[in-house]
Each structure stands twice: as structure tokens, then as C-alpha cells.
Structure 1
Amino acid sequence: MKDLVKKLTVIAFAFSAVSAASAVELSILIDNNPDTVALTQALTLAYSKKHPDVKFEMELRPGGAEGDNIVKTRLATGEMADVFIYNSGSLLQALRPSRTLEPINDIANFSNILSSFTSTVSDKKGNVYAVPAQTAMGGGILYNKRLYKELGLKVPMTWKEFMANCAIIAAKSKAAPIAQTYRDSWTSQLIVLADYYNVQSEQPNFADDYTNNKAKFATTPSALRGFEKLQQVSEAGYFNDYYGAATYNDGLNMVATGKAAHYPMLTFAIPAININTPDQINDVGFFAQPGDDASKNGLTVWMPNAFYLPKEGDHKDIAKDFLSYVATVDACNTITNAIGANGPYLIKGCTLPDNVFPAVKDMLPYFQVEGRTAPALEFLSPIKGPMLEQLTVEVGSSIRTAKSAAELYDQDVEKQAKQLNLPNW
């Protein structure tokens, strides 16, 4: 596991007024996405300018299930960094936060954090465990606007229209209609997960019924539909060559440069596109994953990853003060300056600049109309089976059918629900 975590000292100021003996070093464990690295570097630099006796060592871990295992193991063994970034929502519950994490309700700027976020990082007793690391984000389809213009395509409002666009792209261009990147297996889940708005529009009570063991993916047609869509695009041959070996960064580069027309992804990827291919950032747009009814078109919304503290941390007071800084307008502006803004901030007083990237502008209208957004299922239910990314890789690789994957996922969910001691399971 140690080989999977890379260390990088991001700040080591040598102020003459501060002796080495009085300096405190905080360790921060984060995922290795370039936007996460850039925003963490910016925030820690800004904090150390205000507190020159504090420096930071940044540790990088993989994303997906591999990264999850590192976080869980280090918490269980008492070897977690002073601060770490992890998911909000259902995956947090698997960490058993009341046992392993430090509540942050007492930080000075706690009241700045919007309740729509704190509800996704809290326990039944009202303890809140994290500060958002980025903005709210949408889950849907990044697309190449230049390619769409060249082929005379319109943003699809239904899945049928989306498939028709893919057919035109396959016939009239050299671009792959859809980028898939299964070397980073977590990316394989997006077509299933981003379809949740469409599930809720058909089955408004699905999240509650799912949590209470009254609804299943395999036996609820609207929920099964996400797996079916993944099977459909796989069988149509719309993926890029060597998608099994392609990485997340490969997918971002493909959609930015026009080597792929679409990349199902969260909008947290927008800053990474700007970092990796800044000359193409204005060629990238975004739309919600379409359902089957144009009149019900809307966006599935994710809460961002967040900064957490382990219960056994060595420098909890300083770490809490750092999280308090993250919950400020100054920190929002620092993030915007470092990587751009990719959606609405979840800190009071934070605003977006007028010159946000096109993909961000494409997302904002969904938030401006009542009923055109819905939280992803993992923010409405504590259940998310860990096998999902393995199953979606198999469906996307035409190894398993949508129905079979949904049935296995329902079994996986049952195991997790029992581990969480949920009623009716």
C-alpha cells in the first residue's frame, strides 16, 4: 500500500522569524486527480501565508476502489494523515464516521457551510464531519462543441436523440462517439449513476423504497434503464479503441481535442481539462444525460469531495483551523483562481466569475429552473454497493448483460445494507 501513496512537500517556507522547532507540519492525503492536487496546493499555500509556522506534506493516492481501500485501512490502523479528502454521501457511511472521524461543528466558520452540503456529511446525532473541497457538480455528458458545430448536431433532449448523434459521428467523423476509460474503473459508472434524475422523474419514491428494501435495480424498469443504456452504447461499438487501457486523463484529452465526441463524466473534470489542455477548454460543453421524455429533461447533481479529519489526529486544533479557512470566501476565490469554477459553491457568500468556462455555463440553467435537478442516489440513500464499478466495466465491455449486472448489484447492495444495520434488510 505504501507504494501506492506518493508524498510531496508542497509548502516549506523558511521564514527567518520562525524557527524549525516551532513549525508544525500537517499531512494531507488526497486523490491524484490533477485538479485535486492543484486546488490543495493553492489552499495550503494561502493558509501558510496567513500562518507561516504551518507547512504541509501532501500525499497522493489512487482514485476508485483502490483509493477507498487505502483510506479505510489507514483509518483502521490509526495511520491516517492529519487531513484527508474523501467522498461525501453514502460512501462516507462505510467509514463509520462516528467512530473514526472528528466532528467539525465547532470550527469558527461552520455556519458558512450550506446545509444542503452538511446533510450529506453528518450522522444521526447531528455531527458534521467535513468541509466541501469544491463546488457542487453535475453528472452527465461532456461533449466537443466544435465537432457538434461541424456536423450540425444539436444537444440531445432524449436518449434516442443522443444515440442518433452518436450514429452520425461514427459515420461522418474520425472521432469516437463516446470515450470510455476503464483503466480508471470508477469512470465506468457514470452512465448508470448520471441516469438517476431520470429514475426519480419516473419513480419519485425510488430512493426511500430502495433504502427500505422495497425496490431493486433489476426489477424497477427506470432504474435498470441506466445499465441498459451502457449495454446499448457498448453493443453499438461507439467506444474509443483500447478503452480498457485508457485513463481518466485520456478521456478528458479525447473530448477536449475532438478525438472523442462525448465523455460521460462529472463536471469536477472541467478544471482538469483546463490544466491538461487549456487551449481546448472552450471547445468542451456539457449536457445532462438524456432520458426517454424530452419534457422531463434534467440533471443529476453530486456534492463534492470534502476535507475530513481523523479522530486520532496529532494536530487536530490546527487541522480544524485549516478546515475553517476552507469554509471562507477567500478560500473559494483561491480555488477559482487555481483551477476555475465548475459549478455553484456550497459556502455562503461565494460567487462565480463572469468568465466561467462554457461547460459550466451549460450546467447552470439546470439549477435555475425548479425541478430540473435531483441529487444523485448516493446523497439520498446510504447504500452504494462497492461492486458497481466492476459490474459497469463488465457491461461496458460486453462481458455481462444489463439485467445480470443489475441483479448482481442488488445482491451487493444487500450485503452493504446489512453491514450498515439498516432496517428491513
Structure 2
Amino acid sequence: MARFWLTAAVVGLLATSACTPGSLGDSDGDATALSYLVDNEPSTVKTAEALAKAFTAKYPDLSVKVETRPQGGEGDNIVKTRLSTGDMTDIFAYNSGSLFQALKPEQNLTPLDDQALVGTIDPTFAKTVTAAGKVYGVPTGGTVGGGVYYNRAVYSRLGLQVPKTWAEFMANNARIKAADIAPVVQTYQTTWTSQLIYLADYHNVASVQPDFAEQYTANKVKVASTPAALRSFQRLQEVHDAGYQNSDFASAQLENGLKMIADGTGAHYPMLTFTVATIVANSPDKAKDVGFFALPGEDAAKNGLTVWMPGGIYLPKTTTGARLDAAKKFLAFVASPEGCDVMGKTTAPSGPYVVKGCTLPADVPQAVKDMQPYFDASKTTPALEFLSPVKGPALEQICVEVGSGIRKSGDAAELYDRDVQKQAQQLGLPGW
């Protein structure tokens, strides 16, 4: 799985490479030339360069040179090494959430609380770039929703309504199965996709137990002994036990699942909205038939969306003086409607922005539009990985077993708790 911290390639996070700030000099002609580190994923680089160009057009006395670094663990090590050696670029982009905390922000980064731009950032995102009460980053790009794609044509034909509770969802599945359509598409050959029901259920967990992430990180609660958290595994088992999966769930891959939901041979597909770009590319005439809703919980009044937050852009403490002032201007530009407009025109957003005044382009796919009402109603919760570093590496394999009928939900939860404990001990987390 591509780091189902769902960060790097999935959420399009930024970061970068091997040239030092000093190698750029303090000026480029009469302009102050800033260095900006991002990862080398093509759409990330394209967006970063577009932002740099637009920023210079607005501030001709300033310029931004984009540098790149590898993705994944190698890139993580470059970022951490350059921060620790004082060799970081003027500006750099990196993950938000738990991986941001691993950068030791109080030691290595410059807080932004004295900047007006902090007031433009959605508070939910701000929590994912906050350490010791101080905000250190601004968002880059849109959010990613974790929930359920559904085929709108199937829903219309069968007279179904978007469910707000798990009971309504399962009742819809019964109607869909009776119509000889696969109710819930699963694609376990692409193993990371097995986790979506479990992970997208986190809004429902937090709506019942708001302090779960904090207590979980401190090893004061377990999945197996927390009814709301155990419920996530139970939902996965219930879908299998009811016979609601596609017959080839064990061998199907992500691309097969996206085609099924677009064609209407499958009615629901638990998934992340970054994949909507693949639907548009592979099934352009069917993309309008694909909608999206949050994974339902027990209480319709608490219905809301689990969200994977965008990455952040940060300033290392080594950026000082006039360069720091210029770098803060760049961050303010990114976290503005102007910046969002540049990003939206460069790369199709996977979800709403988390900056005040930023709106989605009118031509975004229907599934992305369907996310906006959750944001407008403030019914969103960051995925657990943005609130806690505790995540066991075996989760996708455990979910495959539950979703395949090999392991029961209670046993899975206990196994996952043991998996998590090993990971937390390796991270050196207190209380484990």
C-alpha cells in the first residue's frame, strides 16, 4: 500500500531535494529569490511551479525557485536531515498531522500565529499543523474525503435516498442486491482499499467518543474494548456476512472497482476521493453518475465526513530576516483565494479547500461537489492518522481477513491492538 497514512502520493503532499539555500544566493538580479522544497510527484511539482510563477507575477521583487526531493521514506529522511543540519530551503512542503509532529516543530520551525493568514485557515486543518498551541503551517491543495462512492443512476432507478445511518445503508444494499447489482464493491487485490470502511468510520467514532485520538495515543483505550471503535470492524464484517460484496472481491483491483461504480454494475464503493481523477480519465462519459457520501453511523444527527487533510507548507527557523518576511508573503499567497485559484486551475482538486474564501471550480466532478455540504455544516473530522501517530502496519491485511470472512471482527480488533502496540513501542511513545 502506498503509505496508508494516505499521505504522499494519495493526498498530493509537497516537499524537496538537494540544493541548499545558500547555493541560490540572497538575490536573483534585483529580486529576493526564495527556495521551495516539494516532493517529485509530477502534479505536486506542476502545482508548486504554478504557485511560484503567480507569486512572482504579483510580487515582481520576489521570486521562488522550486526544488524537488524523492517521495516516501527517502524523502522523509532528507527533510529531517536538512532540518537537523540547518540546511533546509527557505520554504518547504511536507505532511500535516502525525508526520508533521515528527519534525519537532517547536525546535525546527517558525510559528505563524502572529500572521493574519492564520485567521484564513479552517480550524480543523489548523489542528493538524499545531504543536504546543502554535500554528506552523498553511494548507496546500484540497482535502480528500473518505466515504462511499455511489452510482446515482442506480439510486435514481431504484428510488433510493442517500443514507445517513448504517441501518439505512444496509437497507439500500438489500434493495440493490435484489436488483442483481453488486451492493458494495470491494477490491482486495489492491490491499490498501480493504481499509476504507474501517478508516472512513472515524468520524462516527469521534462523534461518540471525542477524546478517542488522545486516549488512544496515550494507550488509555483499545479498539477491542471501545464499542465505537470496534464497530468499525463490525461494519466491515456485516457487509461480508450479508453477501453484499461483488463476487470477485478477492481478485478485483482498484481500477476494476472504479469502473464498476462508474458503469453501475456496482452501487457503492468505499473509497477516497483522490481516485475521482481516475474515474474521469477512464470513464469520462460516466463520471457524472458517480456521487459520494460519508460512511453512515448510528445517529443521523451526527452524520459527517472523515477527511484526509492536505499537506502543509512550513518555514524552518533557518529562514530569517528579509527572506523570512518574503517567505511569509508566499505562505499568505498560497493560503488565499488567489492561491487556491492557481492550484485549482493547475490540478483538479480532490475535495474542498480549507482556506476561507476558497471555492471549488464549477466543473469539478459530482463526487467532489458532494463533499462541500459536510464542510459547510462543519460536520467533518480529520482521519485518525492526522490526530494520532498510532497505526499498526498490518491493518490492511486484517481488514482483508474480516472482509473475506476469514476472521471475526472481535478477534480482528484484538489482533490489531497487539499490532498497534508493537508499532507504538517502536516509535517510543510514552505509556506503551
Length-normalised TM-score, structure 1: 0.74
Contact kept, 8 Å, 1:107 with 1:321, in 2: the verdict is no
Partner amino acid for 1:221? P
1:366 is displaced (CA, Å) by 3.1
Counting only pairs closer than 5 Å after superposition, residues 24-39 of structure 1 correspond to structure 2 as 26-29=36-39, 39=47
- Give the CA deviation at 1:289: 0.7
Q: Which moved more, 1:22-31 or 1:349-358?
A: 22-31
Q: Partner letter of residue 145 of structure 2?
A: G
Q: Which amino acid letter does the alignment assign opposite residue 77 of structure 2?
A: T
Aligned counterpart, 2:22:
none
For the 8 Å contact 1:385–1:412, the answer to whether it is kept is yes
Report the equivalent of 2:79: 75
- Aligned-pair CA distance for 1:143: 1.2
Alignment partner for residue 370 of structure 2, among 359, 362, 386? 362
Tell whether 2:337 aligns with 1:329: yes
Corresponding residue of 1:281: 287
1:209 aligns with 2:215: yes
Distance 1:340 1:110 in 2: 25
Contact 2:173 2:244 in 1 (8 A): no
Alignment partner of 2:370: what SS? Answer: helix
The residue type equivalent to 2:162 in the other structure is V
- 1:119 is paired with a residue of what secondary structure? helix
Q: Secondary structure at the match of 1:139?
A: strand
Q: Corresponding residue for 2:139?
A: 132
Shift in Å at residue 387 of structure 1?
3.8
Asked whether 1:156 is paired with 2:163, we answer: yes
Q: Report how far residue 196 of structure 1 moved.
A: 1.9
Identity over the aligned pairs, expressed in percent?
Answer: 49
Distance in 2 separating the partners of 1:338 and 1:228: 41
Report how far residue 378 of structure 1 moved: 3.6
Question: Which residue does the alignment assign to 1:120?
Answer: 128
Deviation, structure 1 residue 145: 0.8
Q: Which residue does 2:199 correspond to in 1?
A: 193
What is the CA–CA distance in structure 2 between the aligned matches of 1:278 and 1:304, rounded to whole Å?
Answer: 26
Which of residues 207, 220, 223 in structure 1 aligns to 2:226?
Answer: 220
Alignment check: 8 A CA contact 2:96 2:310 kept:
yes
Residues 229-279 of structure 1, C-alpha deviation per residue, up to 9 Å, x if partnerless? 2233345361473655624x5544443343432222233444554455443
- Range moving further from structure 2, 325-334 or 217-226: 325-334
Q: What code does the residue aligned with 2:288 have? A: N
* Per-residue Cα deviation, 1:320-344 (whole angstroms, up to 9, x for no partner): 6654432222111122233455544
Aligned to 1:305: 311
SS of equivalent to 2:285: helix
Deviates more, 1:397-406 or 1:136-145: 397-406
Say how many residue pairs are matched: 400
The C-alpha deviation readout for 1:343-384, integer Å capped at 9, x for no partner, is: 4422233234566543344333334446x4444334444533
Separation (CA, whole Å) in 1 of partners of 2:99 and 2:399: 18
Cα separation, 2, equivalents of 1:342 and 1:194: 16
Alpha-carbon distance between aligned partners in 1 of 2:48 and 2:265, rounded to the nearest angstrom: 30
**Do 1:29 and 1:84's aligned partners in 2 also have CA atoms closer than 8 Å?**
no
CA contact under 8 A between 1:181 and 1:250: conserved in structure 2?
A: no
The aligned counterpart of 1:180 is 187
Gaps of 5+ in 1: 10-17, 62-66
Bigger shift: 108-117 or 290-299? 108-117
Q: CA deviation at 1:72?
A: 3.1
In the other structure, the counterpart of 1:89 is 97
Question: How far apart are the structure 2 equivalents of 1:275 and 1:102?
Answer: 40
CA contact (8 A) 2:142 2:310 kept: yes
Question: Residue 306 of structure 1: SS of its match in structure 2?
Answer: strand
In structure 2, relative to structure 1, the CA distance for the partners of 1:87 and 1:272 (3 Å cut) is farther
Q: Is the 8 A contact 2:108 2:316 kept in 1?
A: yes
SS at match of 1:279: coil
Matched residue type, 1:402: S
1:141 match: 148
> SS state of the match for residue 131, structure 2?
coil
RMSD, aligned α-carbons: 4.3
Tell me the TM-score normalised to structure 2 length: 0.73
| 1:262 paired residue number | 268
Q: Deviations over 1:153-185 (max 9, x none)?
A: 322233233234334434534557314365362
C-alpha distance in structure 1 between counterparts of 2:351 and 2:302, whole Å: 22
Decide whether the 8 Å contact of 2:261 with 2:269 is kept in 1. Answer: yes
8 Å CA contact 1:158, 1:290 repeated in 2: yes
Residues 90, 379 of structure 1: 8 Å contact kept: yes
Q: Distance in 1 between matches of 2:291 and 2:304?
A: 16
Quick one: distance in 2 between partners of 1:150 and 1:258?
11
